Chain A
Amino acid sequence: MHYHSEQLVKDISRRAQEFRIQVLKMVHAEQTGHLGGAYSAAEILASLYFHHLRVDPKNPQWAGRDRLLFSKGHACAMLYTALAHRGFFPPDELASFRQFGSRLQGHPDPLKTPGVEIAAGPLGHGVAIGVGVALALRDAPGSKPSAESAPSARASAAKVYVVLGDGEINAGVIWEGVMAAAKFKLGNLTAILDYNGIQQTGATAESMPSEPIGEKWQAFGWHVQEVHGHNVQQVLDALDRADEVHARPSVIIARTTKGKGVSFMEYDHRWHGQPPSDEQYERALGELEEGLEQWQK
């Protein structure tokens, strides 16, 4: 496990909050998009793209890259924001989110958006696709990044990270993939479960209960960690620990809050796919900017 400085944690936390503001602007401007699940995944994506992942924005198809399979496709406003700020495409382009002719489709399109690995939106695909990618990578020869990439200290072969929503694990194909990953002993596959407890029509506990969640994954043969999903230090540590697990896949259950950062959106399923009014936008923006101050000191 690596040492993560206070400054690094602060920087990533600040980015995550800035991304929330960006996503608010996108969804408000277009009056369409998904805020709640984007906000719960902010620290997860910021930690991955701004520290953990070995990717090369100037060469998105670099064969030696880590793969991030973003399975909870509806939350793509946050994915696009992270990719743009990581350098995969100009941040100005975020303003075209969900517009006709844009590279930023309503749900992720791997052919249009640099850095997007898989189509998503229909839920439940990430783990099984991740199994195929992890199997294909397992014996693939390594390759060097370009001078512009920023590899972490890790020297191991490319790894696969799947970001899942907790609602989407209702889907049976998730568990088909979970079983296959264990069967093939995929130590190079890590799933991060954005466990925000809310899905489209209400609490996950009511729509389709998933507890005991850790025990479930453990029983399927996975290495399990549970972290506070908005605590960047914990997320980074868990990603490092997952990399040290060999011969079996790893899941990080990130306990998160749907709508994190905006008081009237938190824990409210109605903010799954609802755009804010002008008045709600102003209130949300004020709260998010206030929340940003603690990371700017």
Chain B
Amino acid sequence: MAEVVSMRKAYGEALVALGGERADVVVLSADVSNSDHSYMFAEAYPERFFNVGIAEQSLVDVSVGFAITGKVPFANTFAAFFATRAVEMIRTHACYGAAKVKLMGAYAGLSDSFDGPTHHCITDLAIMRSLPNMTIVVPSDPNSLSRFLPQIAAWDGPVYCRLNRNALPVLFDDSYRPEIGRAVTVREGADVGVIACGVMVERALQAAQQLSGEGVEARVIEMHTLKPLDVETVVSAARETGAIVTAEEHTVLGGLGGAVAEVLVEHTPVPMRRVGVADRFTETGPYEMLLDNYGMSVADIKNAAYAAIENKSR
């Protein structure tokens, strides 16, 4: 069993490290710094930390002000509030106005499980993906945060980074060097391609292992950047495996599944299945139980793989 590490703590540590590397980084919070662990930055660099109160629209606009004045603002609140309440600010100033704001969406997906569907965030990827000029990063492992944060800071545009609330298994060792915009093939296989992001990467690997025992070799691709999407990797996976499954902690509408489907229909139409939350709201409960009950279990990924493979022969 892989080591399990808090994503929040890993994020806080990576943010502090970034603050040490770059004096132009400022961190803003809508009064949830003890939730998302940006408080760690506040303790290390109090003069560069700004709590704007429970005001997510102002959080984005104040961050925009920093960005257009040469700072690198990391704005922090719950993902569900960025991607719903503050969307107009993000569209008008970060995307249209090209203010290089870094939106760090905490408690994304179902990871704030017990707070319930008001806090579950299953539409953010679809919303953010529709905005021109937006870049979307979904880390899947605690170790990857220290890799991504410096890239996000240096990225020449706004970034939405989707963060998990909980402790997640360590997937990658020190040799992991992800680059924004370039997918990572974490397991080779030629029978089906499973493209996953976030917490679903680990579940996809579990599914691949079980499939292997049943004679099916799945390629597992970590699509940590939803936009700009690594089209080349999607197309080659489709050509080489002939069947694609996407797995995401998000509605099946418009997120990773939607992005991959858009590529496949134009470049390489192959059978495809989407694993994710159906078009519905969720309920309160333990995290793992929610993932399993809303269509994101290991068995769901396996079933999707078999369904896609079966369609190949038709």
Q: Interface residues, chain A, CB within 8 Å of chain B?
A: 63, 67, 109-111, 117-119, 121-122, 125, 128-137, 140, 172-173, 176-177, 179-180, 183-184
Contact = CB atoms under 8 A, between A and B. Distances in A.
A118 B26 CA distance: 20
14 contacts: A63-B70, A118-B64, A118-B97, A125-B92, A128-B57, A128-B62, A128-B65, A132-B63, A132-B66, A136-B26, A136-B66, A173-B55, A176-B58, A180-B52
A82 B306 CA distance: 66
Given A129-B61, A129-B64, A136 B71 contact: yes
A177 B97 contact: no
B50 interface: yes
A176 B62 CA distance: 10
Contacts of B52: 131, 176, 180
Chief secondary structure at chain A's binding surface: helix
Interface string B56-88: 011001111111111101000000000000001
Contact of B62 (A63, A122, A129, A140): A129
Contact of B53 (A121, A125, A132, A176): A176
Q: What 10 A-B pairs have minimum CB-CB distances, sorted nearest first? A: A132-B65, A128-B61, A176-B58, A136-B69, A176-B55, A132-B62, A133-B65, A119-B97, A173-B57, A129-B65
Contacts of B63: 132
A60 B100 CA distance: 19
Contacts of B227: none
A88 B221 CA distance: 50
A247 B98 CA distance: 31
Contacts of A129: 61-62, 64-65, 68, 93
B89 interface: yes
Contacts, number: 94
Contacts of A128: 57-58, 61-62, 65
Contacts of A137: 69
Contact of A110 (B65, B68, B71): B68
B172 interface: no
Given A119-B96, A122-B92, A125-B61, 17 more contacts: A63-B70, A67-B69, A117-B68, A118-B93, A128-B58, A131-B52, A132-B67, A133-B69, A135-B62, A135-B66, A136-B65, A136-B71, A173-B55, A176-B58, A177-B62, A179-B53, A179-B55
Given A111-B97, A177-B58, A132 B89 contact: no
A137 B66 CA distance: 9
Contact size class for B? 20 to 34
Contact of B61 (A109, A132, A135, A179): A132
B92 A173 contact: no
Contacts of A67: 69
Contacts of A173: 55, 57-58, 61, 89
Specify which of A110, A173, A177 lies most central, judged by the most chain B CB atoms within 10 Å of its CB.
A173
Nearest to B95: A119
A110 B93 CA distance: 9
A139 to B, nearest CB: 8
A137 B70 CA distance: 9
A122 B61 contact: no
Specify which of B52, B57, B65, B70 lies most central, judged by the most chain A CB atoms within 10 Å of its CB.
B65
A73 B231 CA distance: 38
Contacts of B97: 109-111, 118-119
Contacts of A172: 57
B65 A134 contact: yes
Contacts of A133: 65-66, 68-69
A132 B64 contact: yes
Nearest to B65: A132
Nearest to A67: B69
Interface in B229-250: none
B65 A135 contact: yes
A110 B94 CA distance: 12
B62 A131 contact: yes
A140 B69 contact: yes
A122 B90 CA distance: 12
B153 to A, nearest CB: 16
A111 B65 contact: no
A184 B50 contact: yes
A177 B50 CA distance: 13
A122 B87 CA distance: 12
A178 to B, nearest CB: 9
Contacts of B64: 118, 125, 129, 132
Contacts of B57: 128, 172-173, 176
A246 B97 CA distance: 30
B89 A125 contact: yes
A169 B98 CA distance: 25
A173 B56 CA distance: 9
Contacts of B89: 125, 173
Nearest to A111: B98
A117 B64 CA distance: 11
B92 A132 contact: no
Contacts of B92: 119, 121-122, 125
